[in-house]
């Protein structure tokens, strides 16, 4: 025995009989096809929920994806480095992110009592590193990035690599003298991401998105369209506008009818579910109804969000406006306390001053509109600004966009799509340099200035799973050649026949000598059908077969195509070289 056999195998080659984590015939059925195929094909295996082993085949694919990302990041001027995985908690406290991100972080205390968090993102770590140096405007811009394990204390993991608790992320951070310089880099990273995903055979849409606990003013997700994607976004037909539902804007275009003020009236209307029913009952157009939703923040503040009844509230937009990390619907008790009524009858007439009112701009210029009366079972109609309630100094956009709404351009309609977020780019601005000490550089005049920042992430495992989502058929994975575990899947049939066996091994060595990556299915006991099924499941781009029937030739078939051809050795290597060099 011993680990070496008469056939040497190096990094580029593998004997299927020796492959660790060979394909498994049956696994518990997964709803997500990439989870199914990657586990069945022997690419990954789950440890605990949301934490995966990468098996030899999965390692190779992941490594190739990493190399493509690295290549493009280096070309774009990035420099690879790496931070420790355990970040001192004190740094997260410095930016208050221990609170804003708290549910996704896990605290860890070492035996000396030092507190750490396993890194989710690493903005503080990079700022903390840079402030150890005396940097000047000549050192800027800087774009530094790492591939490293990231941790998210997700409440629910999804099947496979799409939403996990541990994963490799490429995270880059850029530092600039000012916004103008940053904007060039934002475009540079945008273009770089487009190139990266194109090289990975993924078509992406850059979608405006919410920045979550990362901070900053704006950001874009790179989404791959998919039915199973968790990102719902709205896009115009020409793609000129694309935004995640969390942040999507639309043209509200509410007619401001300059009606005569009618007398305000309290009307009974018990248990109406929905504005349509209410409007019908009150005999007013739906556009005259109003939604007033009460929320509570983490500090106990009560907020009334007010919007034209035809729209819904977007809680993410609302959170940003009020600067809250956590927002939840007010409890029935709170509603009763501040409005005096049961849930369903809130308005803003006679609300106590402790309640902060945020009004959507769909409220602007309205006349004779309805609101809850803050009295159980009652609604007030014909409310008017100036006469009945004060017009606020400022209106906001807190409306949830919906498919079919008019895009911000005022012309096109918004279309709904679902996507998998494989990357994102964030403007951070002065978010971190304002909060962290000495996040500064010396300018040309010797003055200390805060630097302007951005950050840029790609989830490597999720990208891998997304490639499978987009590149598979009913038999298995159809890897793009640049990320396939091996270029060639070599099958020997009739291997009991020593003449055939010698032929296959000769070809195996020739491929090896030519530096071609090959997985050789050398099993003697497996039937042809089983070998073909394995090849289809694993999904390497080129299947080569040698058997009694192929005589002096080799059968060539591309994965994903049905046609196969018999080639001579010379023809084979010509075709392979052509494939490698294009």
CA distances 169 to 336, 380, 534, Å, are 46, 53, 30
Beta strands in 436-558 (DSSP E): 440-442, 448-450, 452-459, 472-473, 476-477, 488-492, 518-521, 542-546, 554-558
For residue 24, the minimal CB distance to its own copies (Å) is: 7
For residue 274, the minimal CB distance to its own copies (Å) is: 36
Nearer to its own copies, 191 or 266 (CB): 191
Both tokens assigned to 376: 């159980």
Among 66, 98, 131, 181, binds its own copies (CB under 8 A): 181
3-state class (DSSP) for residue 98: helix
3-state class (DSSP) for residue 524: coil
Among 95, 100, 188, 433, binds its own copies (CB under 8 A): 188
Among 141, 160, 485, 492, binds its own copies (CB under 8 A): 141
Cis, peptide link before residue 2, omega less than 30° from 0: no
Nearer to its own copies, 129 or 355 (CB): 129
- Contact flag: residue 225 with its own copies (CB under 8 A): no
- Contact flag: residue 539 with its own copies (CB under 8 A): no
Closest by CA position to 460, among listed 102, 116, 154, 66: 66
CA–CA separation, 582 and 579 (whole Å): 6
DSSP bridge pairs for 170: 147, 458
Nearer to its own copies, 55 or 316 (CB): 55
Measure CA of the first residue to CA of the last residue in the chain; give whole Å: 42
Nearer to its own copies, 55 or 348 (CB): 55
Cβ-count burial 327-338 (b if 16+ within 10 Å, e if not): beebeeebbeeb
For residue 114, the minimal CB distance to its own copies (Å) is: 7
For residue 35, the minimal CB distance to its own copies (Å) is: 15
Among 7, 30, 33, 59, binds its own copies (CB under 8 A): 59
Contacts (CB under 8 A) with its own copies, residues 482-501: none
- Contact flag: residue 149 with its own copies (CB under 8 A): yes
Q: How many CA atoms lie within 13 A of 97 on its CB side?
A: 29
For residue 579, the minimal CB distance to its own copies (Å) is: 23
Residues that contact its own copies, how many (by CB under 8 A): 77
Among 99, 131, 165, 194, binds its own copies (CB under 8 A): 165
The phi-psi region of residue 334 (left if phi > 0; otherwise alpha if psi is between -120 and 50; otherwise beta) is alpha
- Contact flag: residue 437 with its own copies (CB under 8 A): no
- Contact flag: residue 448 with its own copies (CB under 8 A): no
- Mark residues 348-387: x for contact with its own copies by CB under 8 A, - for none: ----------------------------------------
Nearer to its own copies, 116 or 193 (CB): 116
- Contact flag: residue 272 with its own copies (CB under 8 A): no
3-state class (DSSP) for residue 24: coil
3-state class (DSSP) for residue 228: coil
Nearer to its own copies, 84 or 285 (CB): 84
Both tokens assigned to 310: 């035809």
Contacts (CB under 8 A) with its own copies, residues 38-57: 45, 47-48, 51-56
Among 127, 169, 177, 511, binds its own copies (CB under 8 A): 177
For residue 60, the minimal CB distance to its own copies (Å) is: 8
Closest by CA position to 530, among listed 563, 491, 569, 483: 491
Burial class of residue 25 in the structure, from the number of CB atoms within 10 Å of its CB (0-12 exposed, 13-18 middle, 19+ buried): exposed
For residue 149, the minimal CB distance to its own copies (Å) is: 5
Contacts (CB under 8 A) with its own copies, residues 76-135: 76-88, 103, 106, 108-112, 114, 116, 118, 125, 128-129, 132-133
Both tokens assigned to 61: 């694919």
CA distances 209 to 248, 428, 456, Å, are 8, 13, 13
């Amino acid at each position: 025995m011993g680990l070496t056999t008469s056939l040497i195998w190096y990094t580029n080659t593998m004997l299927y009989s020796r492959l660790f984590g060979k394909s498994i015939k049956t696994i518990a059925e997964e709803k997500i096809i990439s989870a199914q195929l990657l586990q069945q094909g022997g690419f990954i295996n789950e440890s605990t929920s949301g934490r995966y082993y990468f098996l030899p085949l999965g390692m190779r694919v992941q490594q190739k994806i990493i190399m493509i990302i690295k290549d493009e990041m280096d070309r774009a001027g990035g420099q690879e480095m790496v931070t420790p995985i355990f970040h001192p908690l004190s740094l997260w406290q410095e930016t208050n992110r221990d609170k804003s991100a708290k549910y996704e972080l896990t605290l860890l205390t070492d035996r000396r009592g030092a507190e750490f968090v396993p890194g989710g993102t690493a903005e503080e770590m990079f700022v903390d590193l840079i402030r150890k140096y005396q940097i000047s405007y000549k050192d800027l811009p800087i774009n530094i990035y790492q591939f490293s394990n990231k941790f998210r204390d997700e409440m629910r993991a999804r099947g496979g690599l799409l939403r996990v608790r541990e994963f490799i992320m490429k995270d880059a951070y850029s530092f600039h003298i000012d916004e103008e310089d940053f904007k060039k880099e934002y475009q540079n990273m945008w273009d770089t991401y487009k190139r990266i995903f194109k090289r990975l055979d993924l078509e992406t849409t850059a979608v405006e998105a919410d920045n979550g606990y990362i901070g900053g003013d704006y950001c874009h997700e790179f989404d791959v369209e998919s039915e199973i994607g968790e990102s719902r976004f709205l896009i115009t037909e020409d793609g000129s506008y694309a935004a995640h539902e969390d942040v999507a804007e639309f043209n509200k275009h509410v007619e401001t009818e300059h009606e005569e003020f009618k007398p305000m009236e309290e009307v009974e209307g018990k248990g109406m579910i929905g504005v349509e029913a209410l409007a019908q009952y009150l005999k007013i157009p739906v556009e005259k109804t109003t939604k007033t939703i009460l929320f509570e923040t983490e500090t106990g503040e009560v907020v009334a969000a007010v919007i034209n009844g035809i729209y819904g509230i977007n809680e993410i937009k609302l959170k940003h406006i009020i600067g809250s990390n956590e927002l939840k619907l007010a409890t029935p008790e709170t509603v009763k306390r501040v409005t005096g009524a049961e849930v369903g009858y809130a308005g803003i007439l006679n609300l106590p001053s402790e309640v902060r009112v945020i009004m959507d701009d769909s409220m602007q210029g309205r006349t004779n509109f309805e609101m809850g009366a803050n009295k159980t079972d009652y609604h007030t109609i014909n409310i008017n600004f100036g006469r009945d309630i004060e017009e606020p100094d400022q209106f906001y956009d807190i409306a949830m966009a919906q498919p079919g709404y008019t895009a911000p351009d005022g012309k096109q309609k918004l279309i709904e799509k679902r996507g998998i977020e494989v990357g994102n780019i964030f403007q951070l601005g002065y978010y971190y340099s304002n909060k962290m000490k000495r996040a500064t550089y010396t300018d040309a005049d010797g003055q200390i200035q805060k630097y302007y920042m951005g950050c840029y992430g790609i989830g490597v495992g999720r990208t891998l799973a997304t490639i499978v989502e987009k590149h598979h058929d009913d038999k298995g994975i159809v890897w793009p050649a640049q990320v396939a575990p091996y270029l060639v899947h070599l099958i020997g049939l009739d291997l009991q026949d020593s003449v055939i066996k010698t032929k296959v091994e000769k070809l195996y060595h020739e491929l090896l000598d030519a530096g071609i990556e090959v997985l050789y299915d050398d099993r003697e006991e497996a039937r042809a059908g089983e070998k073909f099924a394995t090849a289809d499941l694993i999904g390497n781009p080129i299947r080569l077969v040698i058997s009694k029937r192929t005589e002096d030739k080799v059968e060539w078939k591309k994965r994903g195509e049905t046609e196969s051809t018999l080639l001579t050795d010379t023809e084979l290597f010509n075709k392979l070289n052509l494939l490698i060099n294009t």
